Amino acid sequence: MVSSAIALAFLPLLLTLIIRYRFYMVLLYRAVLVRFWRDCVSGLSREERAYQYVLTHATPGDPDSILDAFDTWCSKVEFISNIGPKKGKILDRLLMEQRPLVVLELGAHCGYSSVRIARALPLGGRLYTVEMDQGNAGITEKILRLAGFDDDTVELIVNPSDEVIPKLRAEFGLERLDFVFMDHWKKCYAPDLQLLEDSGLLGKGSVIVADNVLFPGAPKFLRHVRRSGLYEWKVHRATLEYSRGIRDGMAELIYQGIV
């Protein structure tokens, strides 16, 4: 009797927690449990499964078709933390406004955002995309080729970001970065931003866009941005890619230089 009474007393709290965190539970199911099961059954990585879907459902040489296929797979089949279509439109708008000639992407993952950026480049523009995972880099290269982009437009660099950034000037001949997109490990955002500042590759007006600064979050990055005084900045509020009810945001920074 006592146990039943205690259980009944906690039932409203349990229901409240389930309702409040239902979107996070769905994300846990889709991003972790489904992935684990299909990894075991298929013998392929999640990124390889996504590539197979895109390969069979997209039109080669058509970046829009490839992005649409990715979005369908990620929203209806398995979750992958691409930037997605909603936040992707914010990125598209910023790229259209800035018309950057030299773009650095940190975290190519499986090539979704690389395609999204490359298709927006003006004539003569070039994207340098950095991915530390060999397997994901291989998928990215296939996706870029499927979309019709060659080495003249996109250069894929397979190495950790903290090793690449200090070498961009000496090994890749870069003098200035017009636009930087961060979508790699969130714990790397703050130290990599400081590496970029120290590199001398950020000029007045250089734009840095960082995804997922609210979820899963990049508090050290945002704290550095606030305290440094080097940027005009704001956070574009949105929801997590391919999810409902989970608040997220993209930070937009405009470098002002040392005051």
Last residue of a domain, one of 23, 48, 76: 76
**Total structural domains in the chain?**
2
199 and 150 in a common domain: yes
126 and 187 in a common domain: yes
Active-site position among 78, 241, 248, 252: 241
Q: What gap in Å lies between CA 231 and CA 207, rounded to an integer?
A: 9
- The average pLDDT across 9-32 equals 73
| 183 carries an active-site annotation | yes
Active-site position among 186, 192, 248, 252: 186
Q: Where residue 2 falls among pLDDT bands split at 50, 70, 90?
A: very low
Is 90 within 8 Å of 104 (Cβ atoms)? no
| 186 carries an active-site annotation | yes
H-assigned helices in 112-210: 112-118, 134-147, 161-164, 168-172, 189-199
Q: Where residue 17 falls among pLDDT bands split at 50, 70, 90?
A: low
- The average pLDDT across 22-31 equals 84
Q: Where residue 13 falls among pLDDT bands split at 50, 70, 90?
A: low
108 and 45 in a common domain: no
88 and 72 in a common domain: no
Last residue of a domain, one of 20, 55, 76: 76
| 212 carries an active-site annotation | yes
50-102 pLDDT per residue, tens: 999 999 999 999 999 999 999 999 999 999 999 999 999 999 999 999 999 99
CATH number of the domain enclosing 109? 3.40.50.150
Q: What gap in Å lies between CA 138 and CA 125, rounded to an integer?
A: 23
Q: What gap in Å lies between CA 218 and CA 250, rounded to an integer?
A: 10
Q: What gap in Å lies between CA 83 and CA 242, rounded to an integer?
A: 9
Bridge partners of 232? 254
- The average pLDDT across 24-47 equals 90
151 and 35 in a common domain: no
Last residue of a domain, one of 29, 48, 76: 76
181 and 224 in a common domain: yes
Query: Please, what is the Cα angle at 142 between 140 and 148, to 5 degrees?
Result: 105
193-236 pLDDT per residue, tens: 999 999 999 999 999 999 999 999 999 999 999 999 999 999 99
Structural Rg of the chain based on CA atoms: 20
Q: What would the DSSP string read from start to end of 194-217?
A: HHHHHHT-EEEEEEEEES-IIIII
Q: Give me the domain span that covers residue 34.
A: 2-76
Q: Provide, rounded to the nearest whole percent, the portion of the chain with pLDDT above 70.
A: 92
Active-site position among 133, 141, 211, 248: 211
65 and 177 in a common domain: no
231 and 159 in a common domain: yes
Q: What gap in Å lies between CA 93 and CA 125, rounded to an integer?
A: 16
Average pLDDT over the chain, rounded to whole? 92
